[in-house]
Amino acid sequence: MATITFQGKPLHTSGELPLVGSKAPDFSLANAKLADVTLATFAGKNKVLNIVPSLDTPTCAASTRKFNEKAAHLHNTVVLVISADLPFAQCRFCEVEDLKHVFPLSTFRSTFADDYGVKLVNTFLAGLTARAVVIVDEHDNVVYTQLVNELADEPDYDSAIAALVNSK
């Protein structure tokens, strides 16, 4: 269990992020067509897992836009924005924001949040995810993680992108 804050108040997660150097846990997440998407769907590619509580918040929207801009154009790289939002809402958000380089994926019927240790527990936000970034290389090894200490803060984009670029 990890502890973060939201507006200075402590929140707890269901576990810990995967360790750098470990294999990324497999997942099954729902895409805009309600089809299951797994880690194998992106085999051979570097993956930016931009994990957010909900795209319907300013910070989550900002991080999705920034990763769309900063990482999506890197060679052999996909950006996955992962939240508890329903796939329809995620798709609508990406269309409105004209985000063509991110894949929105929903945790609404998966164990992803527990498997990656980011599920918020014992709080009014229980069931949503903490804000985190996990960079997974083309061999599905975890090369970078960040659990954002304050839920309302944006992640460290520069460190995430540097880890992605340096993993090659």
Residues with catalytic function: 60
**Do residues 150 and 128 make contact, with C-beta atoms less than 8 angstroms apart?**
no
Q: Kindly give the residue spans of alpha helices, DSSP state H, lying in 47-111.
A: 58-70, 87-97
**Angstrom distance (rounded) from CA 96 to CA 19:** 35
**Do residues 110 and 132 make contact, with C-beta atoms less than 8 angstroms apart?**
no
* Cα–Cα distance list, 95 to 32, 65, 127 (Å): 11, 12, 26
Tokens of 54: 């909900």
Residue with tokens 């836009």: 65
**Angstrom distance (rounded) from CA 156 to CA 144:** 11
